[in-house]
Amino acid sequence: MPHTVKALFRDDAYLSVAEGKVVAINDRGGIILDQTCFYATSGGQPGDTGFLERADGSRIEIAATVCGETKDEIIHVPAPDQPVPEIGEALTLHIDWDRRYKLMRMHTACHLLTVVCPYPITGASVGEEESRVDFDIPELDGDKASISAGLMQLVEGNHPIYTETISDADLAANPGLVKSKNVRPPTGSGSIRLVCIGKDASVDSQPCGGTHVTETGEVGEIHIGKIEKKGRENRRFRIRFGPAPAQ
Ligand SMILES: [Zn+2]
Protein backbone atom coordinates (compact mmCIF):
# COMPACT_ATOMS: atom_id res chain seq x y z
CA MET A 1 0.00 0.00 0.00
CA PRO A 2 1.48 3.37 -0.96
CA HIS A 3 1.77 5.88 1.88
CA THR A 4 -0.03 9.20 1.74
CA VAL A 5 2.33 11.96 2.83
CA LYS A 6 1.00 15.39 3.79
CA ALA A 7 2.54 17.69 1.16
CA LEU A 8 3.15 20.92 3.10
CA PHE A 9 4.55 22.73 0.03
CA ARG A 10 1.09 22.67 -1.59
CA ASP A 11 -0.29 25.14 0.95
CA ASP A 12 2.95 27.02 1.67
CA ALA A 13 5.62 27.04 -1.02
CA TYR A 14 7.82 29.21 1.25
CA LEU A 15 8.14 26.59 4.00
CA SER A 16 11.88 25.83 3.99
CA VAL A 17 11.96 24.05 7.38
CA ALA A 18 9.38 21.63 8.86
CA GLU A 19 9.03 18.76 11.32
CA GLY A 20 8.30 15.19 10.23
CA LYS A 21 8.22 11.62 11.56
CA VAL A 22 9.61 8.59 9.74
CA VAL A 23 6.80 6.23 8.71
CA ALA A 24 8.72 3.87 6.40
CA ILE A 25 12.05 3.16 4.72
CA ASN A 26 11.58 1.54 1.31
CA ASP A 27 13.66 -1.32 -0.07
CA ARG A 28 16.02 1.12 -1.80
CA GLY A 29 16.63 3.15 1.36
CA GLY A 30 14.16 5.92 0.47
CA ILE A 31 12.77 7.72 3.52
CA ILE A 32 9.02 8.29 3.81
CA LEU A 33 7.75 10.77 6.41
CA ASP A 34 4.25 11.61 7.67
CA GLN A 35 4.58 15.09 6.18
CA THR A 36 7.18 17.04 4.22
CA CYS A 37 8.11 20.43 2.77
CA PHE A 38 10.30 18.65 0.13
CA TYR A 39 8.76 18.92 -3.35
CA ALA A 40 8.90 15.65 -5.31
CA THR A 41 9.93 15.73 -8.99
CA SER A 42 6.79 16.22 -11.07
CA GLY A 43 5.33 18.37 -13.84
CA GLY A 44 8.75 19.41 -15.14
CA GLN A 45 9.93 20.76 -11.77
CA PRO A 46 12.86 18.90 -10.15
CA GLY A 47 12.43 17.62 -6.59
CA ASP A 48 14.14 19.25 -3.63
CA THR A 49 17.52 18.51 -2.13
CA GLY A 50 18.55 19.33 1.45
CA PHE A 51 18.96 17.46 4.72
CA LEU A 52 17.02 15.83 7.54
CA GLU A 53 18.30 16.86 10.97
CA ARG A 54 18.24 14.29 13.78
CA ALA A 55 17.69 15.08 17.48
CA ASP A 56 21.47 15.07 18.12
CA GLY A 57 21.99 17.63 15.36
CA SER A 58 23.55 15.19 12.87
CA ARG A 59 22.36 15.24 9.27
CA ILE A 60 20.98 12.84 6.70
CA GLU A 61 21.76 14.49 3.35
CA ILE A 62 18.97 14.19 0.77
CA ALA A 63 20.09 14.02 -2.87
CA ALA A 64 16.65 13.89 -4.51
CA THR A 65 12.93 13.77 -3.79
CA VAL A 66 10.66 11.67 -5.97
CA CYS A 67 7.11 10.32 -6.09
CA GLY A 68 6.49 6.66 -5.27
CA GLU A 69 3.60 4.59 -6.54
CA THR A 70 1.26 7.58 -6.31
CA LYS A 71 1.77 11.37 -6.36
CA ASP A 72 0.91 11.41 -2.64
CA GLU A 73 3.80 9.10 -1.75
CA ILE A 74 6.83 11.37 -1.42
CA ILE A 75 10.21 9.65 -1.09
CA HIS A 76 13.37 11.36 0.21
CA VAL A 77 16.36 9.74 -1.48
CA PRO A 78 19.48 9.96 0.71
CA ALA A 79 22.93 10.71 -0.71
CA PRO A 80 25.30 7.68 -0.61
CA ASP A 81 26.50 6.45 2.82
CA GLN A 82 24.01 8.34 4.97
CA PRO A 83 22.78 7.00 8.34
CA VAL A 84 19.35 5.32 8.27
CA PRO A 85 16.77 6.82 10.66
CA GLU A 86 14.49 4.73 12.91
CA ILE A 87 10.79 4.25 12.16
CA GLY A 88 8.94 6.78 14.30
CA GLU A 89 11.99 9.05 14.61
CA ALA A 90 11.24 12.78 14.60
CA LEU A 91 13.34 14.79 12.16
CA THR A 92 13.65 18.45 11.26
CA LEU A 93 13.48 18.88 7.49
CA HIS A 94 15.59 21.51 5.75
CA ILE A 95 15.30 22.07 2.02
CA ASP A 96 18.07 23.75 -0.01
CA TRP A 97 16.14 26.99 -0.10
CA ASP A 98 18.43 28.94 -2.49
CA ARG A 99 17.96 26.23 -5.10
CA ARG A 100 14.21 25.83 -4.51
CA TYR A 101 13.59 29.59 -4.65
CA LYS A 102 15.31 29.77 -8.05
CA LEU A 103 13.14 26.85 -9.21
CA MET A 104 10.01 28.63 -7.94
CA ARG A 105 10.95 31.82 -9.82
CA MET A 106 11.78 29.83 -12.96
CA HIS A 107 8.62 27.72 -12.73
CA THR A 108 6.55 30.90 -12.43
CA ALA A 109 8.42 32.33 -15.44
CA CYS A 110 7.28 29.28 -17.45
CA HIS A 111 3.65 30.15 -16.63
CA LEU A 112 4.27 33.73 -17.79
CA LEU A 113 5.72 32.44 -21.06
CA THR A 114 2.51 30.51 -21.73
CA VAL A 115 0.65 33.83 -21.42
CA VAL A 116 2.97 35.65 -23.84
CA CYS A 117 2.99 32.61 -26.18
CA PRO A 118 -0.55 31.21 -26.01
CA TYR A 119 0.11 27.97 -27.88
CA PRO A 120 -0.30 24.30 -26.92
CA ILE A 121 2.57 23.13 -24.68
CA THR A 122 4.28 19.90 -25.69
CA GLY A 123 6.92 19.77 -22.94
CA ALA A 124 8.58 21.73 -20.14
CA SER A 125 11.57 21.43 -17.85
CA VAL A 126 12.34 23.82 -15.00
CA GLY A 127 16.01 24.41 -14.09
CA GLU A 128 17.92 26.61 -11.66
CA GLU A 129 19.63 28.67 -14.35
CA GLU A 130 17.58 27.92 -17.43
CA SER A 131 14.16 26.47 -18.16
CA ARG A 132 12.71 25.26 -21.40
CA VAL A 133 9.16 25.16 -22.68
CA ASP A 134 8.23 23.44 -25.94
CA PHE A 135 5.25 24.66 -27.90
CA ASP A 136 3.38 23.52 -30.95
CA ILE A 137 3.65 26.68 -33.07
CA PRO A 138 3.20 26.52 -36.84
CA GLU A 139 3.98 30.24 -37.36
CA LEU A 140 5.75 32.16 -34.61
CA ASP A 141 4.55 35.71 -34.08
CA GLY A 142 7.44 37.64 -32.51
CA ASP A 143 11.11 37.09 -31.72
CA LYS A 144 13.38 36.73 -28.67
CA ALA A 145 13.35 40.47 -27.96
CA SER A 146 9.59 40.97 -28.25
CA ILE A 147 8.80 37.87 -26.19
CA SER A 148 11.36 38.87 -23.52
CA ALA A 149 9.69 42.30 -23.40
CA GLY A 150 6.28 40.65 -22.97
CA LEU A 151 7.62 38.54 -20.10
CA MET A 152 9.15 41.56 -18.36
CA GLN A 153 5.89 43.48 -18.70
CA LEU A 154 4.18 40.72 -16.69
CA VAL A 155 7.04 40.63 -14.14
CA GLU A 156 6.95 44.39 -13.68
CA GLY A 157 3.15 44.34 -13.35
CA ASN A 158 3.76 42.45 -10.06
CA HIS A 159 0.55 40.43 -10.39
CA PRO A 160 -0.52 38.25 -7.44
CA ILE A 161 -0.26 34.46 -7.79
CA TYR A 162 -2.58 32.19 -5.79
CA THR A 163 -4.12 28.76 -5.95
CA GLU A 164 -7.75 27.75 -6.17
CA THR A 165 -9.44 24.35 -6.07
CA ILE A 166 -12.00 23.44 -8.69
CA SER A 167 -13.94 20.25 -9.29
CA ASP A 168 -13.32 17.74 -12.08
CA ALA A 169 -16.69 18.85 -13.49
CA ASP A 170 -15.60 22.54 -13.54
CA LEU A 171 -12.47 21.55 -15.45
CA ALA A 172 -14.45 19.47 -17.93
CA ALA A 173 -16.69 22.50 -18.50
CA ASN A 174 -13.65 24.75 -19.15
CA PRO A 175 -11.33 22.76 -21.41
CA GLY A 176 -9.47 25.97 -22.33
CA LEU A 177 -7.77 25.92 -18.91
CA VAL A 178 -5.57 23.05 -20.01
CA LYS A 179 -2.61 24.23 -22.08
CA SER A 180 -0.73 20.97 -22.40
CA LYS A 181 -1.25 19.28 -25.70
CA ASN A 182 -0.61 15.72 -24.57
CA VAL A 183 -0.74 15.74 -20.79
CA ARG A 184 -4.10 15.99 -19.07
CA PRO A 185 -4.20 17.00 -15.41
CA PRO A 186 -5.00 14.05 -13.14
CA THR A 187 -8.75 13.86 -12.65
CA GLY A 188 -10.72 11.39 -10.58
CA SER A 189 -9.76 12.69 -7.13
CA GLY A 190 -12.70 15.10 -7.47
CA SER A 191 -10.64 18.30 -7.28
CA ILE A 192 -8.00 20.05 -9.35
CA ARG A 193 -5.49 22.64 -8.13
CA LEU A 194 -5.52 25.74 -10.30
CA VAL A 195 -2.67 28.24 -10.27
CA CYS A 196 -4.05 31.73 -10.93
CA ILE A 197 -2.12 34.85 -11.90
CA GLY A 198 -3.56 38.37 -11.58
CA LYS A 199 -6.55 39.71 -9.69
CA ASP A 200 -9.44 37.28 -10.30
CA ALA A 201 -7.06 35.23 -12.50
CA SER A 202 -7.13 38.05 -15.07
CA VAL A 203 -3.67 37.12 -16.41
CA ASP A 204 -3.85 33.33 -16.37
CA SER A 205 -5.08 30.19 -14.67
CA GLN A 206 -4.05 26.60 -15.31
CA PRO A 207 -3.91 23.30 -13.45
CA CYS A 208 -0.49 22.83 -11.78
CA GLY A 209 0.87 21.04 -8.74
CA GLY A 210 4.25 22.82 -8.59
CA THR A 211 5.64 25.58 -6.38
CA HIS A 212 5.42 29.24 -7.44
CA VAL A 213 6.26 32.67 -6.02
CA THR A 214 3.36 34.81 -4.75
CA GLU A 215 3.91 37.89 -6.93
CA THR A 216 5.22 37.99 -10.49
CA GLY A 217 7.75 40.68 -9.46
CA GLU A 218 9.63 38.03 -7.47
CA VAL A 219 10.58 36.31 -10.72
CA GLY A 220 13.02 39.17 -11.33
CA GLU A 221 14.74 39.94 -14.59
CA ILE A 222 14.46 37.16 -17.19
CA HIS A 223 14.86 36.88 -20.93
CA ILE A 224 14.49 34.38 -23.76
CA GLY A 225 17.98 33.07 -24.40
CA LYS A 226 17.13 30.95 -27.40
CA ILE A 227 14.27 29.81 -29.62
CA GLU A 228 14.98 26.55 -31.45
CA LYS A 229 12.96 24.75 -34.06
CA LYS A 230 12.38 21.15 -33.06
CA GLY A 231 10.59 19.39 -35.87
CA ARG A 232 8.09 20.94 -38.23
CA GLU A 233 5.84 22.67 -35.71
CA ASN A 234 7.64 22.35 -32.41
CA ARG A 235 9.55 25.27 -30.97
CA ARG A 236 11.69 25.17 -27.87
CA PHE A 237 12.04 28.34 -25.80
CA ARG A 238 14.85 28.74 -23.26
CA ILE A 239 14.20 31.16 -20.40
CA ARG A 240 17.23 32.51 -18.54
CA PHE A 241 17.71 34.78 -15.54
CA GLY A 242 19.17 38.26 -15.92
CA PRO A 243 19.10 40.82 -18.71
CA ALA A 244 19.40 39.74 -22.34
CA PRO A 245 23.06 39.86 -23.43
CA ALA A 246 23.87 42.71 -25.83
CA GLN A 247 23.56 41.59 -29.46
ZN1 LIG B 1 3.12 25.68 -12.16
111 three-class SS: helix
Instruction: Please give the Cα distance from 195 to 210 (Å, whole number).
Output: 9
Q: Is the pLDDT of residue 15 over 70?
A: yes
**pLDDT tens digit string along 115-144?**
999 999 999 999 999 999 999 998 888 899
Q: Are 114 and 133 in contact (CB under 8 A)?
A: yes
Among 175, 151, 173, smallest CA distance to 237 is for: 151
Tell me the whole-structure pTM to 2 decimals. Answer: 0.94
> How many angstroms does the Cα of residue 198 sit away from the middle of ligand 1?
14
Which of 89-98, 137-146, 192-201 is predicted with the least confidence, judged by mean pLDDT?
A: 137-146
> How many angstroms does the Cα of residue 44 sit away from the middle of ligand 1?
9
> How many angstroms does the Cα of residue 170 sit away from the middle of ligand 1?
19
> How many angstroms does the Cα of residue 162 sit away from the middle of ligand 1?
11
Ramachandran class of 88: left when φ > 0, alpha when ψ lies in -120 to 50, beta otherwise: left
> How many angstroms does the Cα of residue 211 sit away from the middle of ligand 1?
6
For helices 97-116 and 144-156, give the axis angle rounded to 10 degrees: 110
pLDDT band at 187 (very low <50, low <70, confident <90, very high): low
The amino acid present at 106, given as its one-letter code, is M
Instruction: Please give the Cα distance from 144 to 66 (Å, whole number).
Output: 34
Q: Is the pLDDT of residue 16 over 80?
A: yes
φ, ψ for residue 139 (rounded to 5)?
Answer: -130, 115
